[in-house]
Amino acid sequence: MGVADDTDEHSGHHLPAVEDWPQGFGEASWWPFITAAGGAGIYVGAALFIMTGGGGGGGGGGSQIVPPIAGPAVAITSIGLFLVGLYGWLYHAFVAAFWSQGTDGHGSRTLRFGMLLFLGSEISTFGAGFIYYFFIRAGTWPPAELPPLVSSLVLANTALLVLSSFTLHYAHVGLRKGNRRRFVGLLAATLLLGAVFIGGQVFEYYEFIVHEGFTLTDGIFASAFFGLTGLHGLHVSLGAVLLGIVFVRSLFGQYSAERHTSVSTVSMYWHFVDVVWIFLVVVLYVGAAIGGL
């Protein structure tokens, strides 16, 4: 049986909206729609925040039409909605029926293909940001004085993220070979490396903003830099959450050499953010610093 069979009749859990759809649409669920609405709302909140002059009440027309609190309120609400939708989506897709039936071979292939489609949309998202950067890069360079971009912190963070891909890969290999101890240990190491990377990026932002005075409002390069690195940091944070869920489930013995679909899909996502980071470092950090990419 597959994910589509995850109903009250079999496991005591319920896939919402299944009974409301015509026959043949048994995998229907409104969790992806909730997640998408939450994600879209985050962008709406950011737009409202910009309209109100960054929440500072600068006296412009935008701040009079939209209250300054509207942007942060919409963004926070949307983040909550996104997390709730993501939880419901992941729970019903991977967790709910694991002990009773799990995902069969056909369902496993479907979920992996779904992850590939999702990563395709992520390539488009990051691609839009990089296209913006390439447009500004084609003009006079640098557009303003740049802070020291290539530092030991960036190099160390890059090494940590690359290493985390290796630990996750060999954790997955260990699981498929039936070595649970190796799987859990390397998975924990991957999660730790990811958390350190996120901490390193937060510290880098602190150094730029507090010590270098380099902020989001400091010209077109700053908008590209913080937009792309912030978007990537958000993806790494989401990946760390997913790794945390997989790690906790691994402690309860919910994976085996034959049943590891969620490990496979989370690994695909994590390797993707790793590759994006390498490209980002080469183009945005090194390329901007050398002045002649």
List the CATH number of the domain containing 134. Answer: 1.20.120.80
Whether 14 and 119 share a structural domain: no
Domain region containing 245 = 105-293
Q: Other C-beta atoms within 10 Å of 190: how many?
A: 28
Which helix (H) or strand (E) segment is 159 a member of?
helix 152-176
Look at residue 217 and give its three-state secondary structure. coil
Where does a domain end: 83, 102, 121?
Answer: 102
Domain limit, last residue, from 102, 128, 162: 102
Is residue 113 domain-shared with residue 175, that is, in the same domain? yes
Give CA–CA dist 78/95, Å, rounded: 24
Q: How far apart are the first and last CA of the chain?
A: 53
| Residues 227 and 84 reside in one and the same domain | no
CA angle 166, 170, 174 (to 5 degrees): 170
Q: How many domains does the chain have?
A: 2
**Separation between Cα atoms, residue 100 and residue 10, nearest integer Å:** 8
- Whether residues 88 and 143 share a domain: the answer is no
User: Is 116 found in the same domain as 83?
Assistant: no
Q: What is the pLDDT along the chain (293 residues), one digit of tens a residue?
A: 333 333 444 444 444 444 444 444 445 678 888 888 988 888 888 788 777 765 444 444 444 677 888 888 998 899 889 888 888 877 776 666 555 555 555 467 777 787 888 888 889 889 988 998 888 888 778 777 788 888 999 999 999 999 999 999 999 999 999 999 999 999 999 999 999 999 999 999 999 988 888 887 788 888 889 989 998 998 999 899 889 989 988 998 888 888 888 899 999 999 999 999 999 999 999 988 786 44
